[in-house]
A and B are shown apart, each in its own frame.
Chain A
Amino acid sequence: MRKYIAKRLAQVVVILFFILTVLFVLFRLAPGDPVSRMVDPEMTPEDAQHLIEQLGLDEPIWKQYLIYLKNFASGEFGYSIHYGEPVARVIWDKLPNTILLFTTAVLLSAMVGISWGKIAAWKKGKGADIGMTIAALVTHTLFLPWLALLLVWVFAYQLDWFPITGMVSEEVFLDPDAGFWAKAVDVGYHMVLPLATLFLIHFGSYLLVMRSSMLETLKEDYIVLARAKGLSDRAIRNKHAAPNAWLPVVTSVGLSLAFSINGGALTETVFSWPGIGRELVFAVSQNDYPLAQASFLLIATVVLFSNVVVDVLYAFLDPRIRY
C-alpha cells in the first residue's frame, strides 16, 4: 500500500512538471498583451518598451521558462501583473470562498443525491422513483445562469427572503461587535441561494449514478441472502446494498470535489461570489500569465492528488481492492 502510494505520488510529480510546461507554452502562444491595459495613448513606444522590460516580459521565451521553473522549484509563483501582488496572495484571498461554497454544494448534493438515489432504486418503478428520476433529469439539464437569476428574482427580489447575491453584508462585517458566529450566520445566509442553485443542478447526476449502481447491486446474491436472513428493508438497503453501490459514486464525488476548487466562473459571477473562478477568467482574459499559470496548476495538482486519494479510498470502501 505504502509503496503504491509512493509510486502514484511520483507519477503525479512527473505529470505536474509536464502540465507546468504545457501551461507556460500555451499562455505565451495565446494572443494578447498583458500590458495593453497599462499603456495610454500618449505613452511613447519607448516608454511602453521600458514597462515591458521592467515586468520581465521582454526576455526570450526559453529564459522566461527557466526563470519560471527556478521560481517554481523554490515555491515562488511570481507576481500578478494586474494586482501587483504575489500570485499566492491573490489566490489565497479568494480560494477559501470558493472552497466553502463549492465543497458544501458538492457534499450536499452528493449526500442528498446518494440517499435519494438509494431510495429511488429500492422503489424502482414506483411513484417515488419516477418522481425523483424525472426531477433529477429535469434539474440536471437546467441552464445555470437562468436558474440562478430566477431564484434571485423570486427569493431575493420579490419575496425579499435573501440578499441579492454577494457573500457578506456590510452591516455585519462593519459592526465591530459582530462575533464569529454572527459573521458565520451572515455568510450562511448569503450562501443559501447559490447553494440551492448548485444543488439543483448537481444532485441529479449523483442520484442517477447511485440509482443505477444500486439497481445492479440489488440483483446480487448477497442481497437475497440478506432478505432470507429476515433483515429489515432498512438494514438491507443501507448496510448491504448501499456500501457496494458507493464505489462508482465515490469516484464522481471525489473528482467533483477536486474540480470544485476551480469554482464555476459562471456561478461566482451571477451570485457575486468572490471566488477563484472569476479570478481565473480575469487572469486569462487579461493575459495575467503568472496568475493564470498558478491557478491552473493549483487545479491540476488538486485533481491529480484527489485521484490518488479516491484510489486509496477505494481500498477502504472495498476490502477486495488491495494495492
Chain B
Amino acid sequence: MALLKVENLSIGYRTAGGMLKAVDGVNLSLEEGRSLGLVGESGCGKTTIGMALMGLLPPNGSITGGRIVLDGVEISALDEEELRKVRWSQVAMIFQAAMNALNPVIRVSAQMTEAIRTHRPDMDEQAIMQRVEGLFNLVGLPLERLHDFPHQYSGGMKQRAIIAMALALNPKLIIADEPTTALDVIVQDQILKETKVLQEQFDIGIIFISHDISIVAEVCHDIGVMYAGQLVEAGPAQEVFFNSKHPYTRALVGSFPTLAGPKSKLTPIPGEPPNLIGAIPGCRFCDRCPKDTASCKLEPPKWQEINERHWVLCDHC
C-alpha cells in the first residue's frame, strides 16, 4: 500500500474576484522511503498541496474535491483536533524560507523540545533532552549550540536545526518546501546530500517542493511537474529531467543551471501562467507553448503514457 495517496485533489481559495482554483484534479502517490519532487513556478499550486497535506490551508482555502490518504487515514476528512495529532508525528515539514521559520525569541532547544512534549506527553524531560541531543548529532550540529537563540546560527545551521526538528517524532512523511533556497550553493548541496542519506536511513517518504527542477532531479526518485494547478508530467526523476516530454518541463529544464550537467545557455520561459479564477476550457499552457495548435485551446489535454511510469498531460507529445 502506498504511504500517501492523493486522489483527484482540488483546492480553491475564496478571493474577492471569485473562487481561485489553485489545485485542480491532482493525483499523486508516494511509497514509503521514497521521494517525490513537485516542481513548477510560483503560484502553480505545489505549496498549496504541501499545506493541504499538513491540514494547514489558510482560512480562505479549502479542499473542493478529491481526498488525501496518508497511511490509510483520510487526512482530508479529519477535524482540527485529530489533524493536530497527525501533524509532526505523522507528517513533518521543512520550510520554505527556513531563515524565518525559527521563532527569534525562543531558544532552539525549546523549539525542539516543545514538539516532542506536545505529542509525547508521557515522555520525561530527560528523555526528551536526550532525543534532542541525538537529533543534533544526527544533523551534525554542535551540542554546545543547542541553547542558542536562532539569530546566533548561520543559515546552514538553521536549516539543519529545522531538519532535526522534522525528524524529532520519526514521521512517515516529510514535506520539504524549498528547503534550501536561501542558502548558498555549497551549503545547499551539502544539506541536500545529507538529507538524502537521512531519508534513506530512516525510510521516510519525502515530498520535495521546489521551483528548481535540477535540484529535484538530483535528490528525488520521482518528479511531478505542476503547471497552473495541474500536474502536467510525472515520472522517474532521471526520465523526466533528461527525457522531458511536456513543453513546460523542457522549458523548466532549460531555464536552470545544473550543478552536474554540461554548461548550456539558459532560456527563460516567455509569457505568464493563466488566471486561475474562472473556467479554462483547453490546455493551460497553450498560450506559452511552442507547439500550440488550434485544438489545444478548445479541448482539455489527456494523459499520454510515455512508458509505464512516465506520463504527460499533452496531446502533442
Contact = CB atoms under 8 A, between A and B. Distances in A.
Interface centre among A228, A235, A244, A320 (most CB of B within 10 A): A228
Interface in A212-235: 220-222, 224-232, 235
B85 interface: yes
Contact of A240 (B84, B86, B106, B149): B106
B75 to A, nearest CB: 13
Interface in A238-273: 239-240, 243-244
B57 to A, nearest CB: 11
Given A225-B93, A225-B95, A230 B104 contact: no
B88 interface: yes
B102 interface: yes
B87 A224 contact: no
B133 to A, nearest CB: 19
B97 A221 contact: yes
Given A230-B118, A230-B119, A225 B87 contact: no
Interface of B: 54, 56, 84-89, 92-93, 95-97, 100-106, 114-115, 118-119, 149, 151, 162, 165
A228 B118 contact: no
Contacts of B105: 243-244, 317-319
Interface residues of A, number: 21
B85 A221 contact: no
Given A221-B97, A229-B114, A230-B115, 15 more contacts: A221-B95, A221-B96, A222-B102, A225-B102, A228-B54, A230-B84, A231-B114, A231-B118, A232-B84, A235-B118, A239-B106, A244-B105, A317-B105, A318-B104, A319-B104
B102 A228 contact: no
Contacts of A225: 93, 95, 101-103, 162
Nearest to A227: B56
A40 B86 CA distance: 88
Contacts, number: 72
A230 B89 contact: yes
Contacts of B88: 228-230
Contacts of B56: 224, 227-228
Interface centre among B56, B84, B89, B97 (most CB of A within 10 A): B84
B163 to A, nearest CB: 13
Contacts of A231: 84, 114-115, 118
A91 B84 CA distance: 58
A244 B86 CA distance: 27
Contacts of A235: 114, 118
Nearest to A220: B100
Contacts of B115: 229-231
A320 B118 contact: no
8 contacts: A221-B95, A221-B100, A228-B56, A228-B92, A228-B93, A230-B119, A239-B106, A244-B105
Given A229-B115, A229-B118, A239-B106, A221 B101 contact: yes
Nearest to B80: A233
A230 B87 contact: yes
Contacts of B162: 225
B118 A319 contact: no
Contacts of A318: 104-105
A231 B149 CA distance: 20
Contacts of B95: 221, 224-225, 228
Nearest to A228: B93
Contacts of A220: 100
Nearest to B104: A320
Interface in A295-323: 317-320
Nearest to A242: B105
Nearest to B115: A229
Contacts of A320: 104, 149, 151
B19 to A, nearest CB: 19
B287 to A, nearest CB: 33
A244 B103 contact: yes
B84 to A, nearest CB: 5
A220 B93 CA distance: 16
Give me the 7 closest cross-chain CB pairs, A-B, nearest first: A230-B87, A319-B149, A222-B103, A221-B100, A229-B115, A221-B101, A320-B151
Contacts of B149: 319-320
